[in-house]
Structure 1
Amino acid sequence: MRWFRVLFVLLIVAGFGLTWYLLQPQNSLVWQTFTPTVIPLEQAELANPGRGLYQWRGQTMICPSELISNRERYDRWTWAELEPNENQYDWQEIHQLLDMAEQNGQRVWLGLGASAGPSNNGPFLPIYLQKPEFGANFEGDWYPNYNHPFVQNRLEALLAAFVAEFAGDQRILGVQMRSYGRYGEGYLPWNADKSHGMWASESTARWLVDAWHTRLSPHFLISIPLSNNPVFYYAMTKQPYWSITRDALGMPEQMGNIDQLIQSDITVDGQAIGPLVAERWKVAPMFSEMIGEYGERDYSGQFLAAQTQVISYHISYVSNGNFAQPYRASPWDFWRDPINCPEQASNWSNADIENFMLAGKLAGYRYAPTTIKLAIDNQQLQIESSWQNAGVAPIYERWPLVWQLRDATQTVVWQGESSLDLRQLLPAQAYEHRQQFEQFKLPAGEYELRLVAPAINRYVRPLQLAIEGQLDDGAYRIGILSIR
């Protein structure tokens, strides 16, 4: 019985001890909350990489800098321009474009290898390949026969030479696969007999995609024009994911081809193409180009249509050029004075400008932290933040976010990189992020809290967030953190 009395006494003592502990005041985290002021869409454009109005082949239709992102520029070359003679490659114009982009704080998208189209401005395909065994003419245009081993060998050589010349160049953001179809847009004449060599067989379609993928995907993001053919279908199954290009922004009939593919029952190697197209914007950018000339029609609705389509199809890039008549003349004379952009008469109405400008603003991402909370406990700094993406798509590059604390002399006394991955912040979704930083030791006092998304290489600037308080170095002043 003695052991029972001892146990009974111990239980009583433990009970008193627990009661005493629970009655004592418990330490609780003291949170300090900051609420950044979000910049509304109606204010000036936030120029950021990977989104918005890009410079299309030298044109700048919307000119004032406060209205455009202009962080990328785009141009393209035919196969004949890149290889004027067999095994002789000419990269001079691409180098010039890259140098010009660097001077203007831009990166570049390149369209490579278009091999079929009207020859009034020169051949698309090198002359040495324009022989009956390597292709054939159709309605005045020469089309390569990619089913032929020699043509395949020459395209592989072109791609290998491009990679040897430009791999590792961080000024190149992406490369469009322009090898198949008229103008490199993936479509072929509907009235061409299926026995014509222009049509790629199933195995050739796979070879064409693999030729590009194995050589370029380790170095560059690849984009392919949307089209209803086996080349496009197979490209949608590759990883790293290929981007989609649509050269028809502003034209509902042509943009509707996206919906047709989404609703199709096409499969490749057991993968349904519809969902791959529908969800592609979540992992790779939707790259668009205005419709340009498409026969005699009324083009006045293209500006509002572009705005609607940017939202519907989660477009990240909108070409700041390639408009059909009578809209080829810009409201600004960029060619005469690209710095001051003097206004000039044009067929653009104020509504046209506003609609197209808004299409550019909506394109891509628009990130903002809406609430930031900090608490310190036992040498641990806890940060909770709420985020929104008011754009239509995410960013597609890993972009760091860094928290900083500065003392009264503006010296950085602590900083830590956030684990938040902006690529995961999809539009129309509230996002909560929590992170704990260990071994946080700062003396009592007041410190300025800053947030910065630093440049990821020397060709870009720090990322702009849609909040007020940006400083000259690209960082954002959030508020004063008090440590007691």
Structure 2
Amino acid sequence: MPHLPPPGLPTPARRRLACALFVGAAAGTAHAGGWDIVSASRTYNTIPLKSDDTVNPMRGYHRWQNQELVPQAAPARDAFRRYHWRDLEGVQGQYTFGAILADLKTARDQGRKYAFRLRMMAGYDDGQLYAPAYLAGNASCLHGCGFWADAGAASGKTWVPDWNDPFVLARSRALLQALAQAIAASGNAASIAWIDVGLYGQYGEWAIRKSVYTNRPAGIEEATTATRRALAKMHFEAFPTQQFVMFIPYANRDALRYALLEQTITTKPVGLRADCLAQAGYFKQWTDHADEWRQFADQWRKAPFIAEFCPFESGHPTNGPATARAQASEFHISSVGNANFALSKPDDQRWLSLSDPERHDMLMLGREAGYRYGVDSTWVSLTGDGQLTLAATFRNSGNAPTYEPWNVKLEIVDTSGMARWSGTVPVALNSLAGGGVTTRVQSSWRVPALAAGTYTLRLVARDARPADGQQRRPLAWVLGERDADGGLTLRSLRRR
């Protein structure tokens, strides 16, 4: 006698399925020209966190500046680079985006998506001009477009842009618009994972020392609130359909408010970006202003929180992997740049320079950050005439949801591996915010009359975006029973 439908199904559905199964059982489990009858439940094993080797997009570690130093079971699904403005526009209006376009294409060819940031300045006191040479002292600016600040260091001076100057802002806007057009023309725009809102501040990270303005020229002031909003807005106008993240310094709280809560340009909610993960006390700028942080504290539920490390060395009493791990957990950080630590060591020694506890924390950080989707249980029913029903319980045991569109598909696959039929399972993975939350769904389909033979019934989460060659690989379930491609085989089916 077949198993009865699970209690979670609505009563009418239970009655229909029970009748169908009873009739099928009375006639035997096989029908000439029909399907072998199935009614079976199964449970699955979530991979323990301490041994989870799952690599999925926009969670865990991403490739940072061509480096992946923390060892992973597979290459990261996302890659991040940053670029100086001077390398993109040597002569006013003449752009050289070859490096960005090549990196974007490489990421696509490797099965990754690509993230980037543009920078108008980098570090301090190195005597370097990171904006285009034509910009410094340009007569179109009211006060020379910027100035050389002397912080007293022997190594040199720092060129600080006049962020407020209309010409500087106009050229910044033109740069972003030209880049957006070049990427669109390359055909690879769908391979962008996210864009950092950049250009302003040291390294384009929206922070700058007030001390550089101590001896500023007459007429030059720190960036105004209107300027910071304008710099964010020009990013959004150039790439309105892309995923953005915004740096979180407390001093930029108005720009954050604009980007996350007020602007309506972007089609996707803007996420958060931290540049100093692992630095003890870094988040005090917000925890000390809890009322103001509250307006942004739940942004992780709808947009990603991306981070990179403040450089740390092994053995520091407060700055290091344990601090980073705690911060990622508290603030629901999804993805971290896989580099930028132990900079005093050669690249091939940086991971090994960490102590055993530090390496453990680094591995656990990659496992804990972001989503971890799995399936607790399934119940499958198939009648002889092709009425297929699935009841399934899905779980997210991670610390955040996914921010990309996935369709969970139930697929009937032939012996060559080709899907001969698929149905969409009505579960929205991004509604499962994490922390072990579950949802149970059930749905039924009429399966077409396929050729006689043996088939496999699989549950696969596939990229819901257009099949243009830039889709993500199937999402990998965090299950011990998962298949090599990350999907899940539920059982075998046979048609007579």
Same fold (TM over 0.5): yes
1:166 aligns with 2:186: no
1:468 aligns with 2:485: no
The 2-side partners of 1:285 and 1:357 are apart by 20
Q: What does 1:63-462 correspond to in 2, within 5 Å?
A: 63=71, 65-66=72-73, 70-115=76-121, 117-118=123-124, 120=126, 122-131=128-137, 132-139=143-150, 140-167=157-184, 168-191=188-211, 192=213, 197-218=220-241, 220-228=242-250, 229=252, 230-237=254-261, 238-239=263-264, 240-260=268-288, 263-265=290-292, 274-292=293-311, 298=316, 301-326=319-344, 328-329=345-346, 332=348, 346-375=352-381, 381-406=388-413, 412-440=419-447, 448-455=456-463, 458-459=469-470, 460-462=472-474
* TM-fit CA distance, 1:185: 1.4
| Contact 1:112 1:175 (8 Å CA) reproduced | no
* TM-fit CA distance, 1:303: 1.0
| Contact 2:321 2:358 (8 Å CA) reproduced | yes
Instruction: Provide the TM-score with structure 1 as the length reference.
Output: 0.80
Instruction: Tell me the residue number matched to 2:69.
Output: 61
* TM-fit CA distance, 1:233: 3.1
* TM-fit CA distance, 1:116: 5.4
* TM-fit CA distance, 1:43: 2.4
| Contact 2:101 2:183 (8 Å CA) reproduced | no
The 2-side partners of 1:451 and 1:282 are apart by 25
1:477 to 458, 465, 489: 489
Distance 1:34 1:215, change over 3 A: same
The 1-side partners of 2:243 and 2:398 are apart by 21
The one-letter amino acid paired with 1:350 is D
* TM-fit CA distance, 1:381: 3.7
Cα displacement string for residues 374-396 of structure 1 (whole angstroms, at most 9, x for unaligned residues): 34689754322111112111111
The 2-side partners of 1:136 and 1:123 are apart by 10
Cα displacement string for residues 238-266 of structure 1 (whole angstroms, at most 9, x for unaligned residues): 343212110111112113334345x144x
Instruction: Tell me the residue number matched to 1:336.
Output: none
The 1-side partners of 2:58 and 2:351 are apart by 31
Instruction: Provide the TM-score with structure 2 as the length reference.
Output: 0.78
* TM-fit CA distance, 1:462: 1.6
The 1-side partners of 2:230 and 2:124 are apart by 26
2:59 to 51, 71, 90: 51
Where 1:400 maps in the other structure, the secondary structure is strand
| Contact 2:371 2:396 (8 Å CA) reproduced | yes
Q: Which moved more, 1:313-322 or 1:113-122?
A: 113-122
The 2-side partners of 1:158 and 1:410 are apart by 46
Q: Which moved more, 1:373-382 or 1:278-287?
A: 373-382
Instruction: Tell me the residue number matched to 2:24.
Output: none
* TM-fit CA distance, 1:464: 0.6
Distance 1:46 1:432, change over 3 A: same
* TM-fit CA distance, 1:438: 4.2
Distance 1:78 1:415, change over 3 A: same
| Contact 1:38 1:368 (8 Å CA) reproduced | yes
| Contact 1:386 1:430 (8 Å CA) reproduced | no
Aligned-pair identity (%)? 25
| Contact 2:271 2:299 (8 Å CA) reproduced | yes
Distance 1:102 1:209, change over 3 A: closer
| Contact 1:143 1:198 (8 Å CA) reproduced | no
Where 2:281 maps in the other structure, the secondary structure is helix
* TM-fit CA distance, 1:480: 4.0
* TM-fit CA distance, 1:478: 1.5
| Contact 2:62 2:338 (8 Å CA) reproduced | yes
Q: How many residues get paired? A: 434
The one-letter amino acid paired with 1:249 is L
Larger CA Rg, structure 1 vs 2 = 1
Where 1:451 maps in the other structure, the secondary structure is strand
The 2-side partners of 1:126 and 1:424 are apart by 45
Q: CA RMSD in A?
A: 3.2
* TM-fit CA distance, 1:345: 8.9
5+ long unaligned stretches in structure 2: 1-14, 22-38, 138-142, 151-156
Where 1:85 maps in the other structure, the secondary structure is coil
Distance 1:122 1:293, change over 3 A: farther
* TM-fit CA distance, 1:94: 1.3
